[in-house]
Amino acid sequence: MDLLFNMNSYTPKAQSAIVSSVLLILLVVVLTFIIIGFVVPFVKNQLAGTDCFSAVDVVSITNSDQYTCYTANEMRVQVHVSEAELISGFSIEMGGASTKAYAITNGSANAQVKMFGGDYNQPLQLPGKNEERTYVIPSPTIPDSLRVYPRLKDGRMCDSFEEVNTIVPCP
């Protein structure tokens, strides 16, 4: 009887250890789901930024004396696009004492930018794959630099850019 009494006295302790183990496992599972709930969206947001890696060097400024140059209150910028299907447009930024950016998208009418040889009422055209287009932007002075930023299909603007620091007068 002594042996039976001792087994009964250990039963609650054994059940207590099992319950504690189950609660610890449950706690670990719940914490895992909570951490995953924060980590997965964070990683997705970080990976979404990698779309710009595929757009690096897709848009560039052609540094030619005839088409990327400054003339009588106008800046001509020739832009080359190597993979048109990756972008929905780009932004041209003229830097100097004050910096100004101009959004270029296909079919958009911009009162501050025109196609070379066109007028300000005509819609803008993006270059196709491995094509170039020249855009004319009014500017009272020669800018210190030109930058072009690709715009992704979802509308996000990339931080990567192509820059030209030497602006020459047009012939």
Q: Return the residue matching tokens 């007028």.
A: 119
**Predicted local confidence at residue 117, as pLDDT:** 86
Q: What is the pLDDT along the chain (171 residues), one digit of tens a residue?
A: 444 445 555 555 667 788 888 899 999 999 999 998 888 888 777 665 556 777 777 888 888 778 899 988 899 999 999 888 888 889 999 987 788 888 888 887 777 899 988 888 888 888 988 999 999 999 888 899 999 999 888 888 887 778 888 888 888
In contact, 122 and 110? CB cutoff 8 Å:
no
In contact, 137 and 113? CB cutoff 8 Å:
yes
Structure tokens at 14: 């054994």
Q: How much is the pTM?
A: 0.68
Strands 168-169 and 69-71 turn out to be parallel
Report the amino acid identity of residue 125: Q
**Predicted local confidence at residue 8, as pLDDT:** 52
In contact, 124 and 64? CB cutoff 8 Å:
no
